[in-house]
């Protein structure tokens, strides 16, 4: 059974710091891995999607990597800003287009 784990559960950093969020999954048979952002009381917004054949994706200050063989992904946020404060969720999509989510990392960027 596929399980997705995110570490740390919460993170507080000063503005301007570069940071890394971690995600691990137990079964390497995935179609893709996605990183989502969730603001308090709101829905999820897709940030980056990495196909199983890819190693990384970049969008602005965000870079996500995928190592399928080790079951790991990282989300790198450069020059963090207070507006980056949110919960970041990692999710893997498996056969039948079923998506399994991690519990998320709650990020707080201090001004």
Smallest gap from Cβ 102 to other proteins, in A, equals: 5
Smallest gap from Cβ 43 to other proteins, in A, equals: 4
CB-nearer residue toward other proteins: 19 or 100: 100
6 and 107 in contact (C-beta within 8 Å)?
no
H or E element that contains 75: strand 72-77
Smallest gap from Cβ 100 to other proteins, in A, equals: 8
Grouping H, G, I as helix, E, B as strand and the rest as coil, residue 95 is: helix
The token pair that represents 99 in the structure block: 């998506």
Residues near other proteins (CB under 8 A) are 4, 9, 31-32, 34, 41-46, 49, 51-52, 89, 91, 93, 97-104
CB-nearer residue toward other proteins: 14 or 96: 96
Grouping H, G, I as helix, E, B as strand and the rest as coil, residue 83 is: helix
């Amino acid at each position: 059974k596929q399980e997705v784990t995110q570490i740390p559960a919460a993170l507080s950093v000063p503005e301007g710091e570069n940071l890394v969020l971690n995600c691990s999954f137990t079964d390497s048979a995935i179609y893709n891995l996605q990183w989502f952002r969730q603001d308090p009381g709101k829905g999820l917004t897709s940030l980056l999607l990495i196909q199983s054949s890819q190693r990384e994706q970049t969008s602005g200050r965000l870079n996500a990597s995928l190592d399928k063989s080790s079951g790991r992904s990282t989300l790198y946020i450069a020059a963090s800003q207070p507006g980056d404060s949110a919960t970041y969720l990692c999710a893997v999509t498996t056969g039948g287009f079923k998506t399994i989510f991690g519990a998320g990392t709650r990020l707080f960027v201090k001004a």
